[in-house]
Chain A
Amino acid sequence: MKKIGLLIVILTGVFLIYATADFPRWGDPASPASTHVSPRYIEKSMEETEVPNVVTSVLADYRGYDTMFETTVIFAAGVACFILLRIPGSGGPEERLYRHVPTGITIRVKDARNVPSRLAQFERIDTLWVPHDLIIKTACRILIPFIQLFALYVIAHGHHSPGGGFQGGVILGASIIVMAMSHDLRASIERMGEKVNALLCAAGVFIYAGTGALCLSMGRNFLDYAALAPLLHCDPVMARSYGIFMVEIGVGIAVMATMIRIYDNVSSAGKYDEGL
């Protein structure tokens, strides 16, 4: 079986490499993509959408329908992860570990149901992942606001520089994941709860599709942002720029929430209690 698999892989690889011989040369101005499609976008993007970064205008305006379903795919991935892994009800192992904060002594509670009520000086720690590092905690606490600020910059500045909703959303999600890794999963769930997260996940896709539907209700095509000009009190070209921005915000929210949801489910094995 292994040999057959290897043979198939090698054959496919050979065919793929053979097929690359038919490709146009890298950066060839006479290739089909560079003769009709690219020049149109490069020349008209600025005057049609007021967006200097052509990648953003192609992604969110000219090919907006495509990007909408990319966002939906990410949403579906988050939902699939949730359905496969999430174990409903209060999970968590039977025994719990608590650390006495002033002395660093760890106590073990055999049965989670009769945990002592007075635990002011104790903090709960994971049974699987007990190392405690003040340096990592402090460094991450200082870094997280800057990571989030950078993520917002990436989303907002996607019109002028590389970046946009996807990258910014991933970085925003990563800031919460860093929180979960440096402290523990419960600390991050306290700040970004499961229900809020699920709501944001759907809200992002809703913002995207809603922007398209709004254009439709204003009498233009789906995702034709020029229709928003009367609502935004600006000319149609600027309205397309703002429309791209609205859509990017939706993408950012959806991607952020999905990344956090996948991480929470995978690292806690669906229990939302103890994780990496």
Chain B
Amino acid sequence: MIWQLDLAVLALVVVAAVGAVTIRDLLGCAILFGAYSFLMCALWSIMGAVDVAFTEASVGAGVSTVFFVAAVFRTTRRTKD
């Protein structure tokens, strides 16, 4: 484990999480959630939990982003709050 790499990925995770909560565009939120999941996947593979990282990459970054985008497509892109 390289701590510089670990710290950089962790910082990006925080940025993606805060961005996903604060952004007003829901499509952007879905994409940021995808980025967040992918960075978590990177973090887990850094820690050596390859099975968890694989699940996160396929479920979190892959399919759930598609579900979010489909839900945004069927509802609205703007949030009221």
Using a CB–CB distance below 8 Å, which chain A residues touch chain B?
26, 53, 55-56, 128-129, 162-164, 166-167, 170-171, 173-174, 177, 181, 259, 262-263, 266-267, 269, 275-276
Contact = CB atoms under 8 A, between A and B. Distances in A.
Contacts, number: 52
Interface residues of B, number: 17
Contacts of A181: 66
Contacts of A164: 51
A276 B59 contact: no
A170 B59 contact: yes
Nearest to B69: A276
A26 B63 CA distance: 30
Interface of B: 47, 50-51, 53-55, 58-59, 62-63, 66-67, 69-71, 73-74
B74 A162 contact: no
A114 B48 CA distance: 61
B66 A263 contact: yes
B73 A162 contact: no
Contact of B67 (A26, A162, A166, A262): A262
Contacts of A266: 67, 70-71, 74
A45 to B, nearest CB: 14
A164 B54 CA distance: 10
Q: Which label, helix, strand, loop or mixed, suits the secondary structure of the B interface?
A: helix
A173 B54 contact: no
Nearest to A158: B51
A174 B66 CA distance: 9
Contacts of A276: 69-70, 73-74
B55 A166 contact: yes
29 contacts: A26-B47, A53-B51, A55-B51, A128-B73, A162-B51, A163-B51, A163-B54, A166-B55, A166-B59, A167-B54, A167-B59, A170-B59, A171-B58, A171-B62, A173-B63, A174-B63, A174-B66, A263-B63, A263-B67, A263-B70, A266-B67, A266-B70, A266-B71, A266-B74, A267-B70, A269-B74, A275-B70, A276-B70, A276-B73
A164 B51 CA distance: 9
Contact of A167 (B55, B66, B69, B71): B55
* Interface of A, helix, strand, loop or mixed by DSSP: helix
A167 B50 contact: no
Given A174-B58, A259-B63, 11 more contacts: A163-B51, A164-B51, A166-B59, A263-B63, A263-B66, A267-B70, A267-B74, A275-B70, A276-B70, A276-B73, A276-B74
Nearest to A265: B70
B62 A267 contact: no
Contacts of A56: 51
Q: Which of B50, B70, B73, B74 has the most CB of A within 10 A?
A: B70
A33 to B, nearest CB: 14
B63 A177 contact: yes
Contacts of B58: 167, 170-171, 174
A129 B69 CA distance: 13
Contacts of A267: 70, 73-74
